[in-house]
Structure 1
Amino acid sequence: MRIGMILDKTFPPDPRVENEAISLIKNGHEVFLFCLKYENELKNENIQGIQVKRYKSNKLIYKLSALVYTFPFYTQIMAQKIRDFCITNKIEVIHIHDIQIAGAAFKVNKKLNLKVVLDLHENRPEIMKFYPHLKSFFGKLLISLKKWKQKEEIFIKKATTLIVVTQESKNEIVNRVGKDSKDIVVVPNTVHKNYYKKAILKQGIIDKYKDNFVLLYIGDTGLRRGLQTVIKSVSVLKETIKNLKLVIVGSNTSDIILKKQVKILNIQNFVDFEGWQNENLLPSYIVASSICISPLHRNLHHDTTYANKLSQYMSVGKPLLVSNATAQANLIEKAKSGLIHREQDSEDFTMKVLQLYTDEKLRDNLGSNGNQFIANDFCWEKTSEKLIDLYANFNL
């Protein structure tokens, strides 16, 4: 089958797109990837069997993409490019990644009349509520979140099949939009077995923290991720855990607020802001940790998705401490790989850290459970089976 994946940004990188495409190729399909180029990237390139087709864009078009469901310009521009991509490569199924470019793809498909898979990486209308530029006067004036939500529902109904990342997301869409559950496939973001089996560890990182009890956070550090709760807890935990270290690998423009909080609490010696690090170094940070955390605030987006960091943490065999955001709490309970704290509750977070700190056997058991859960049920080799089955059962 000739599958045309549609992505509204540059490629690489995009781990989810890459994982899906390679899995489909290994199962006998041809995957062509429509993506954008802004500089001198090759127009056509074969990356691990993915036939990448890059179409030229520019800063103006990029800015117009934010207004895609306010003004028609971005959709019209992209539709011309997608039409050429589909016809030139004799595409048989369109696979759209997220909703920003979905309008253009569906516009093209009015004449092509192909089956369409809509792959929702996240709940974009909900997460947009937290974008700083949408909180400004002009952001609110020009970008209607209500319209984005309406468009999302229209696209969900139009799609032959919908792919989402969690069962919670599937349930929410069935209840809100009325999409038939049999037309929604859950394909979580998970790690390959090689992520932990063939990881190359950097001894310098492990040695740096060998004398510390490390709480590790990996990922975007925007305030909705919950690190203010953790920093407040550290100011209390340091009295009991003398060698405590909160290690934050990632960043956000709001880091200035987190660093100011650390300074006010006078806990600079207990917190390391490592910034973004190369993906290959993350297993080393995880190995160096004692507890891995995900203290997300609860909202509709966080309640229906979870970060890839959870599978990274578990694959290395570390115990987790996560907030009660629904999707991640359900996952950790299913895996029996960690403890759950109430979101934005530093006292509960503190209590759970101390429970793990004082019980090494519990930490070991939770870590082992997580490792086995990934190996047996939740690695990409397992979770991608539903994606493979979806395309195996398509009748053109």
Structure 2
Amino acid sequence: MRSRPDPCRLPTPDRPHPPGGRSSSYMFADRVACTRLVRGAPMMSQELRVRIGMVLANHPFPPDIRVSKEADALAAGGYDTLVLCRARATDNLSDRVGNAIAVRHSVHPGRTLKRRADSLRYLATLDSPSWRRAMVDLVRRHGAEALHIHDLPYARSGILAAREAGVPVVLDFHENYPAALALWKRRPIDSLMFSPKRAAKLERWAITQADRIVVVVDEAKERLVGLGADPDRIVVFGNTESLDMARGIPAPLDLSRGPRIVYVGGIAAHRGLDTVVAAMPGILHRFPNARLAIIGEGHTLPELKAQAHRLGVLDAIEFTGQLPKDEAMERVRVATLGLVPHHRSPHTDATVPHKLFQYMALGRPVLVSDCAPLARIVRATGAGDVFTAGEAPDLVRKVIALSDNEAASRAGAAGRVAVISRWNLEAEAPVLCSLYDELAAGKH
């Protein structure tokens, strides 16, 4: 009789997983049990660490801030993270990126007809055979013991690959993707082939097939439960920052020259930056030396600059373009107010951006629009104030109120305390580790 494989021996290309369906999942359960035994030990042997296969299909890595944070969280719990991602011309096929190992894939490189055929197959079925095979290889050749699929477009490929490889599948929805498609500026062919209606149909199917679902806020969980997902299979892992960002003494809030307002992130119509620019004449009327820094790139940047020029406020706004994270955070440190001005929609009512917790960690008061999760968190923590989305006069009033030294200092301190006590990556990390512990215990 053949002996049972050592459950703590990490599969490699020379030691692949056994083929077959979920009957092979005992290896995942036993190896997670081994991970539990040594979790918290000062040095854990790589042979004892379970590999989670994250899939960032058709996107390069780095950068993806959420994937990096999840890899950090899993590393703290004794898990390794592989990230299957798109290969760029200058990328190595595999290398370490922080706490993750990037495994890069190209769809039929140098074979134009096959690449086009794969694209057509995806458009027809929402399943890419090339990416699906790469996901199976992530299990059988690279030793992944679960597939963790980021965002909706490749959910079908991920679910089919997990079934073929005999491993659990986790879907990680960063946002309400069908609603986002209705907002994003897209090519006509993309809008036709992957419409919001088609995406919603895929989502409704996928949430019934996944072993677990990860979302960013409670409101997103409530939405999926309303669509028929099992609430016991959904966990919330937020877009929080590490406690390291909140350590040290925050920079003083210097309002002597008027407010120094900052926005960090993508520039698109749904981000609400048009409301901020529309508010600048009113802000400058009250504070002639006020300044606004918009840090980021996006397709509506020319329209924003044109709007600022028409309103005569271009000189008071700095458009920095994309900055490295360290530089962007340094700009936040010297600001007196951080903005999250999103227009309200089904999309923005079910997500929270990383920037909110970055502002809070650095002790900056925040001003957010009344999108449900933004308003809930800011009101609960006292980290700032809330304005009515799309209403420039209300934004002006709230900026004036948060330009009072006492109010600004109180809000900035409250936000930082909230990050230190609750809203941080270290507090969120057990959510992901517990998810995989539960899968190993057979709670599919």
TM-score w.r.t. length of structure 2: 0.81
Q: Which residue of 2 aligns with 1:80?
A: 133
Offset of residue 233 of structure 1: 1.3
Tell me the secondary structure at the aligned position of residue 128 of structure 2. Answer: helix
Following the alignment from structure 2 to structure 1, what is the Cα–Cα distance between the partners of residues 419 and 336? 19
Tell me the secondary structure at the aligned position of residue 402 of structure 2. Answer: helix
Offset of residue 20 of structure 1: 1.3
1:1-396 to 2 correspondences below 5 Å: 1-8=50-57, 9-57=59-107, 70-72=123-125, 75-134=128-187, 136=188, 138-175=189-226, 177-197=227-247, 211-357=257-403, 359-394=404-439, 395=441
Distance 1:199 1:80, change over 3 A: farther
Distance 1:32 1:198, change over 3 A: farther
Offset of residue 64 of structure 1: 8.5
Following the alignment from structure 1 to structure 2, what is the Cα–Cα distance between the partners of residues 352 and 23? 36
Offset of residue 260 of structure 1: 1.1
Identity rate, percent: 26
Following the alignment from structure 1 to structure 2, what is the Cα–Cα distance between the partners of residues 62 and 24? 34
Distance 1:73 1:237, change over 3 A: closer
Is the Cα–Cα contact under 8 Å of residues 126 and 157 in structure 2 kept in the other structure? no
Q: Cα RMSD over matched residues?
A: 2.6
Runs of 5+ consecutive residues of structure 2 not aligned to the other structure: 1-49
**Deviates further, 56-65 or 278-287:** 56-65
What amino acid does structure 2 have at the position aligned with 1:26?
A
Distance 1:37 1:139, change over 3 A: closer
Runs of 5+ consecutive residues of structure 1 not aligned to the other structure: none
Following the alignment from structure 1 to structure 2, what is the Cα–Cα distance between the partners of residues 366 and 33? 38
Highest Rg: 1 or 2?
2
Following the alignment from structure 2 to structure 1, what is the Cα–Cα distance between the partners of residues 298 and 80? 38
What amino acid does structure 1 have at the position aligned with 2:272?
G
- Deviation per residue, 1:1-45 (Å, 9 max, x gap): 332221112212212112212322332223322222131422232
Is the Cα–Cα contact under 8 Å of residues 200 and 280 in structure 1 kept in the other structure? no
Distance 1:14 1:63, change over 3 A: farther
Query: How many residue pairs end up in the alignment?
Result: 387
Following the alignment from structure 1 to structure 2, what is the Cα–Cα distance between the partners of residues 39 and 199? 42
Is the Cα–Cα contact under 8 Å of residues 258 and 287 in structure 2 kept in the other structure? no
Following the alignment from structure 1 to structure 2, what is the Cα–Cα distance between the partners of residues 6 and 140? 24
Is the Cα–Cα contact under 8 Å of residues 76 and 429 in structure 2 kept in the other structure? no
